[in-house]
């Protein structure tokens, strides 16, 4: 398929610009560019066909089953898009809220922010929420900056953050950017946090403990409350990474487990678009210890309506305006649509579906850990190494069967890992079709491994040279 730049023909136009009807101004020469912009010159029809063709090659949750572990690629109900497209939301100028005289013009949007913050606080067991962070990792950074502000304010001299070895790589990265040194805590053989190692690492210097619960092994940390008590005994704060909230939403609240601060991934748990189709949103919830430091402005409710206020000890803005507001609108619609019972059913079915996949595949792909899982299961492709077939080959071969690959080679603690998260929105028929495909591939891997090595053969491009793409990264279309 051609790039849009390759379709370009000099002089072709897709738009006609109206004649100038305001006085002409000539900016000083040094402010003007003196080379061509090099935009593709194409007609409207060229553009429509190009992007329609591209969209047909897309592999997404609207076209295929997408069990990408730890990413919660659930279906995004279309009604949420319709609500977010309402002109009262979509065409609102973000600066209306910056000018006190116009605050009355955006009361509906402020009410939505206020109520969504309250709903998320209730779901997380937190006291206050900010919607500003625009991604999960951005939420982590906001959370670690709040933790730093808390300790600085109390004149606590703390420089360490404890992170389990099963954590997402963004956890240590966020802690490091907020100025902390990261100490990795190993997992025990059963896949949960090694409590002895944790006890040894927990000193007065520890500012926070960052946990994902259930963790990336798909297991609930059974000792999470004791871990929180031990951390609080040295005034270390507990950070809850919300990546796996889908496993417990509506049933158990991080705040009740002893967490002080958490982020929510609206694009995971609350069904807003995910990945490059985003944008995402990573609201942060805190208990009263951290509430004074939240980014401003905060929406407050008064007798005259919704107003804005700036917390005195705020860490400052961490995103423009109120974050990705239209994502918040979708999440609000989702939560209101499901209600409390609906959210309980989400986690129940997410866990049920993952265990169904685990029980059908466990005799072919050994699970990394014993027992049941939560919302995702971690299997291993190690038995197929003797035939020269790796987890990556299963990932590629699944594409030919019409399924997106699960996450492979993560968590790092499991060899040849296949991390499967089906989510609650898939039917038993889809789960069976996926498991049948996996079992068929397991047979091929033993009997005719070359089939897996050749995959994928049905996709627009075959096996990509990922190594060369990483070593010789070049995203610029040549002149």
Partner 1 sequence: MFPDDLYYTEDHEWIRDEGSEYVVGITSYAVEQLGDITYVELPELGADVIRGETVATVESVKAASDVYSPVGGHICEVNDFLESRPELVNEDPYGEGWFFKLDSVRVSELNKLMKADAYEAYIKSLEK
The enclosing H or E element of 418 equals strand 417-420
467 binds partner 1 (CB under 8 A): yes
Helix 325-361 vs helix 107-124: crossing angle, to nearest 10: 30
Phi and psi at 337, nearest 5°, equal -65, -40
Measured CA to CA, the distance from residue 17 to residue 128 in angstroms comes to: 48
- What are the start-end ranges of the H helices in 125-236? 136-153, 170-177, 195-201, 224-233
Only one of the segments 77-85, 206-214, 354-362, 464-472 lies at the binding site for partner 1 (rule: CB under 8 A); that segment is: 464-472
| Minimum distance of partner 1 from residue 218's CB (angstroms) | 19
**Whole-number minimum distance, CB 464 to partner 1, in Å?**
11
Nearer to partner 1, 17 or 467 (CB): 467
Q: Does 412 bind partner 1 (CB under 8 A)?
A: yes
Contact 299, 114 (CB under 8 A): yes
The distance of Cα 247 from the centroid of its chain, to the nearest Å, equals: 15
In the complex, the smallest distance separating the C-beta of residue 410 from partner 1, rounded to whole angstroms, is 8
Of the two residues 219 and 408, which places its CB atom closer to partner 1 in the complex? 408
Nearer to partner 1, 122 or 194 (CB): 194
Nearer to partner 1, 169 or 316 (CB): 169
Count CB atoms within 10 A of the CB of residue 431: 19
Give me the least distance between CB of 469 and partner 1, in Å please.
Answer: 9
Selected from 52, 78, 471, 474, the binder of partner 1 by CB under 8 A is 471
Strand-pairing partners, residue 185, are 164
Instruction: Report the alpha-carbon distance of residue 223 to residue 225 in Å, rounded.
Output: 6
> Which residues, 6 or more positions from 118, have their beta carbon under 8 angstroms from its beta carbon?
129
Angle, alpha carbons 276-281-286 (nearest 5°): 155
Tell me the number of residues near partner 1 by CB under 8 A. 7
If binding is defined by CB under 8 A, does position 470 make contact with partner 1?
yes
Q: Minimum CB separation from partner 1 for residue 288, in Å?
A: 37
User: Site for partner 1 (CB under 8 A): which residue of 81, 122, 409, 459?
Assistant: 409
Closest CB 141 distance from partner 1, rounded Å: 18
CB nearer to partner 1: give 18 or 465.
465
- In order of 83, 139, 368, 408, the CA distances from 134 in angstroms are 20, 7, 33, 26
Considering only 131-139, 222-230, 360-368, 467-475, which stretch makes contact with partner 1 by CB under 8 A? 467-475
For the chain, what is the total number of helices (H) and then of strands (E)? 14, 12
Residues 184 and 164 sit within 8 Å (Cβ to Cβ): yes
Give the contact letters, 143-182, x = binds to partner 1 (CB under 8 A), - = no.
Answer: --------------------------x-------------
475 interacts with partner 1 by CB under 8 A: no
Q: Name the one range near partner 1 by CB under 8 A: 74-82, 221-229, 347-355, 465-473.
A: 465-473
Gap between the Cα atoms of 296 and 310, Å rounded: 5
Residues that bind partner 1 (CB under 8 A): 169, 409, 412, 466-467, 470-471
């Amino acid at each position: 398929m051609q790039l849009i730049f390759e379709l370009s023909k000099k002089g072709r136009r897709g738009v006609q610009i109206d004649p100038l009807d305001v006085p002409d101004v000539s900016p000083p020469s040094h402010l003007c560019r003196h080379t061509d912009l090099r935009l593709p010159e194409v007609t409207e029809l060229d553009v429509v066909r190009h992007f329609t063709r591209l969209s047909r090659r897309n592999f997404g949750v609207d076209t295929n089953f997408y069990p990408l572990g730890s990413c919660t690629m659930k279906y995004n109900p279309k009604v949420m898009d319709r609500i977010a497209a309402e002109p009262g939301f979509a065409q609102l100028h973000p600066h209306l809220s910056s000018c006190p005289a116009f605050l009355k013009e955006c009361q509906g949007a402020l009410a939505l922010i206020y109520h969504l913050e309250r709903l998320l606080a209730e779901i997380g067991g937190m006291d206050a929420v900010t919607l500003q962070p625009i991604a999960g990792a951005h939420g982590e950074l906001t959370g670690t900056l709040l933790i730093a502000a808390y300790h600085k304010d109390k004149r606590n001299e703390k420089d360490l953050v404890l992170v389990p070895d099963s954590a997402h790589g963004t956890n240590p990265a966020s802690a490091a950017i907020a100025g902390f040194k990261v100490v990795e805590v190993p997992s025990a053989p059963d896949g949960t946090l090694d409590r002895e190692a944790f006890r040894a690492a927990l000193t007065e210097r520890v500012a926070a403990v960052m946990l994902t619960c259930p963790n990336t092994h798909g297991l609930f940390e059974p000792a999470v409350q004791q871990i929180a008590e031990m951390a609080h005994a040295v005034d270390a704060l507990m950070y809850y990474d919300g990546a796996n909230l889908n496993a417990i939403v509506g049933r158990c609240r991080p705040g009740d487990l002893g967490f002080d601060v958490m982020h929510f991934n609206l694009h995971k748990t609350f069904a807003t678009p995910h990945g490059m189709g985003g944008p995402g949103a990573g609201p942060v919830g805190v208990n009263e210890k951290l509430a004074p430091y939240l980014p401003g402005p905060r929406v407050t409710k008064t007798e005259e309506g919704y107003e804005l206020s700036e917390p005195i000890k705020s860490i400052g803005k961490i995103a423009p305006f109120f974050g990705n507001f239209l994502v918040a609108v979708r999440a609000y619609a989702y939560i209101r649509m499901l209600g409390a019972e609906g959210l309980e059913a989400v986690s129940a079915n997410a866990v049920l579906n993952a265990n169904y996949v685990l029980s059908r595949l466990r005799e072919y792909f050994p699970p990394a850990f014993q027992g049941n899982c939560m919302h995702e299961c971690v299997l291993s492709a190690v038995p197929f190494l003797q035939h020269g077939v790796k987890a990556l080959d299963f990932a590629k071969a699944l594409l030919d069967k019409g399924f997106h690959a699960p996450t492979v080679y993560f968590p790092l603690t499991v060899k040849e890992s296949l991390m499967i998260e089906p989510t609650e929105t898939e039917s038993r028929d889809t789960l069976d079709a996926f498991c049948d495909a996996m079992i068929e591939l397991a047979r091929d891997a033993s009997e005719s491994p070359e089939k897996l090595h050749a995959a994928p053969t049905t996709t627009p491009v075959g096996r990509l040279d990922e190594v060369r793409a990483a070593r010789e990264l070049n995203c610029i279309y040549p002149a």
